[in-house]
Amino acid sequence: MTATAYSNFNFIEDGFITHIDDNVATEKTATKPNEGKQNRPVTYLKTVKSNIGFREAAGLVRVAESNGSIVRLVVGRATGNTKSIMSIIKMGIKPDTLVAISVMNGNTDSTLADCVKILEGA
């Protein structure tokens, strides 16, 4: 699926979302339109059910590494990625927060599904 309103997202050159505007209120898949680039990120919006602490951040890093992927999380203007557990923890993600999860490289479908499970507290 592709999101219909791209104006709510700001993309940088590699296709990752840089921030989410406040008017994004629903969960949906929001991928950048294909511009002929390979390995474009798959992005999903998810409302987090619990705090994201060290255990969850470490789980996200483990999932990304095992699938050969890069995962970036965006909340408002705060970003974190699976290259650094601390970058995810510093985001201070609390319950009922809308998070954009962007996955690039490797097995994006499996990585995204596993990341969503972690963010759901499963």
**Tens place of pLDDT per residue across the chain (122 aa):** 333 333 344 444 344 555 555 444 444 444 444 444 456 788 888 889 889 999 999 999 999 999 999 999 999 889 999 999 999 999 999 999 999 999 998 888 889 999 989 988 86
Instruction: Give the contacts of 38 (CB within 8 A, at least 6 positions apart).
Output: none
Domain contains 110: yes
Domain contains 1: no
Element spanning 72, H or E:
strand 70-75
- CB atoms near residue 1 (< 10 Å): 8
One-letter amino acid identity for 121?
G
Domain contains 93: yes
What is the count of structural domains for the chain? Answer: 1
What pLDDT score does 122 carry? 60
Domain contains 80: yes
Q: Which domain holds residue 24?
A: 6-33+40-119
- Report pTM: 0.70
